[in-house]
Structures are given as C-alpha cells and as structure tokens.
Amino acid sequence: MIALSHLQKLEAEAIFILREVAATCDNPVLLYSIGKDSAVLLHLAMKAFSPGKPPFPLLHVDTTWKFREMIAFRDETARRLGLELIVHINQDGVKAGINPVTSGSRIHTDVMKTQGLKQALDKYGFDAAFGGARRDEEKSRAKERVFSLRSADHRWDPKNQRPEPWSLFNTAKKQGESFRVFPLSNWTERDVWDYIALESIPVVPLYFAAPRPVLRRGDALIMRDDERLPLLPGEVVETRMVRFRTLGCYPLTGAIESDATNLTDIIAEMRASQSSERQGRIIDHDGTGSMEQKKQEGYF
C-alpha cells in the first residue's frame, strides 16, 4: 500500500475542492491575484480538469497599482495556458482619484480591491470564487471554512458558519448568495514553496532577489515601480538587492533585502526567517481584528 506524503494529501484535497465547485456551482471563477498562492491554485486547477481545461475563467481585480512585472506575468500566464482572463478595474474609484499614496492604504484597498471585487462578481454573476488564501496567513482566516458562504451583499458572518464535516461540502445556497472557496486552506507558506519547487511552477520574478530601485519609508523598503510614487523630502531611490515575500500594490508592499535568487535559496531563507510573510503587508496592521473586519465587509 502506498501512503501519500503530506504534499500529495494537500494536493488531492485541493483538487477535490476544485472539482466539487465545478460540479455544483453554476458560474465559478478563479480569483487570480498573480502571486505564488494563485500560481499554485491555477496549477492545481489545470491538473484537476486535465486533459481538459478548467471550466471557469480567471478574474483579476486590478487596482492599477500592481507591479508592472505582475501584469506582464498575468497576461503571459493566461496566454500560455490558453485560459480566459477577465480584468476588472473599479472605474468609480479611478474617477474619484483613489490611490494608495494620498487616499491611504485602508481606503485604497477598500475601494479598489474589496468594492472592485464585489462589482466584478455582481457584473458577471459569479456564484463561486476560488481564492488562494491559506488559514496559516492570519488569525481570522484560520477560522474560515473551505466553503465560505457570503450573503447577497457579500458579507461574511463568522459566528454563523456552516459545519463542514469530513470532505462533505454543503454547496446549496439561495439566489444571490455566493461562495468564496479556498482550496489551499490547509497549506502553509512553506508547503506552497515546496510545491512550487517540486512542480516547477512559474512565479513572478519579483519573488527572486535582484537589484531594484527602492526607497526607505518608515520601516519598509518600497520599490518605486513608476513615477506615480512621489518622493517625500529626504527620500532617495537607491538600487538594492531585494525580493518580495508577498505581492500586492507596489506602494503598500515592503521588500526584503535578500540574495535569494532561486527557489532553493528562497526556501532556505524562509525557514530561517523570524518574521511572518504578511509583515510586509501594510493593510493588515490597521488594528487587532482588522482583517476580520475587512472580511466581514467582503474582502476576500
């Protein structure tokens, strides 16, 4: 008898979840945020429906402030795999001039990401959206079910989640309700990197260390990806060997100084690290319970 390794078990569980949604929901979509977790999720979706293609499109909610390399990688990935890619931008937010520099991280994220996502889900009538979120990322995520039911206005009710025994997912929902589905719920950051290495999954080059133009703002090293980020008095752009542990809007994503230019180095660096991957995310630190608050409002 062959015993499955821990990664094989996680892989089988994720594929099961992907197929379950495809079979029971009318109009699923894969939230493709371009990062490493999305890369793994997409890779698993390709496997789940092989030799066919995943029976759902990819959706990217573009805040217009992503790293340029992310956008290039996104388009190339959709082309390489021959998948439909929907890009949605909250035009109301663009018209209102919302941006992470002057509007602040909280408003920018709410308008361009959370509201943008709701707009896109409503516009296309998606009733299930896959996300690459993992329970080890953040404490309120640790409490979320694999199938997370959202009301017609996309709210999450953490105190009234459906029990979810074994691998029996209750996929019934009322008109207007939808699911956020997390096939990578039980993966850790390390599992994601180990799997990327094992399966040679392409990821955005920003994860690997390279000389990049950065400035120091507070505790964070911010990469100046284009001219829209104004320099504050005394700030200078200098070239440093840096990489990113997570990817988001470039003015809100801190780089780390690193010489890890390949997967082996990244995995070794991660294991030696004393800080969590979300440390570089500025939006998580708005206060205790802030992620839970955002999720209740409809953030992924």
Binding site for another protein (CB under 8 A): 1-12, 15-16, 19-20, 22-24, 44, 47-53, 135-136, 138-143, 158-159, 161-168, 170, 172-174, 185-186, 188, 190-191, 194, 197-198, 267-268, 271-276, 279, 288-289, 292
DSSP three-state, residue 164: coil
Pick between residue 16 and residue 208 the one whose CB is nearest to another protein: 16
> For residues 240 and 211, is the Cβ–Cβ distance under 8 A?
yes
Identity of the residue, 201 or 229, whose beta carbon is nearer to another protein in the bound complex? 201
Strand order in the sheet with 128-130: 85-88, 58-61, 28-31, 128-130, 178-181, 147-150
Q: How far is CA 287 from CA 36, 90, 211, 296, in A?
A: 26, 26, 33, 15
Specify which residues 147 forms β-bridges with: 181
Bridge partners of 221?
A: 216, 255
Beta strands in 56-121, from DSSP E residues, in sequence order: 58-61, 85-88
Distances (CA, A) of 55 to 21, 23, 169: 10, 10, 19
Smallest separation, CB 201 to another protein (Å): 13
In 10 A of CB 169, how many CB atoms? Answer: 19
Nearer to another protein, 24 or 119 (CB): 24
Shorter beta-carbon distance to another protein: residue 5 or 91: 5
Minimum CB distance to another protein, residue 159 (Å): 7
For residue 249, list its beta bridge partners.
66
Q: Least CB distance from residue 96 to another protein, whole Å? A: 30
Question: 266: Cβ–Cβ under 8 A, 6 or more apart, which residues?
Answer: 193, 207, 208, 243, 260
User: Smallest distance, Å, CB 64 to another protein?
Assistant: 29
Rounded least distance, CB 238 to another protein, Å? 25
Nearer to another protein among residue 123 and residue 190 (C-beta) = 190
Distance CA 117, CA 97 (A): 18
- Strand-pairing partners, residue 58, are 30, 85
CA 4 to chain centre: 27
Least separation, in Å, of the C-beta of 198 and another protein? 7
Q: Which residues pair with 216 in a beta bridge?
A: 221
CB 183 to another protein: min, Å:
11
| Shortest Cβ 127–another protein spacing (Å) | 13
| Token pair listed for 157 | 């009710």
CB nearer to another protein: give 43 or 60. Answer: 43
Q: Name the residue nearer to another protein (CB basis): 7 or 86.
A: 7
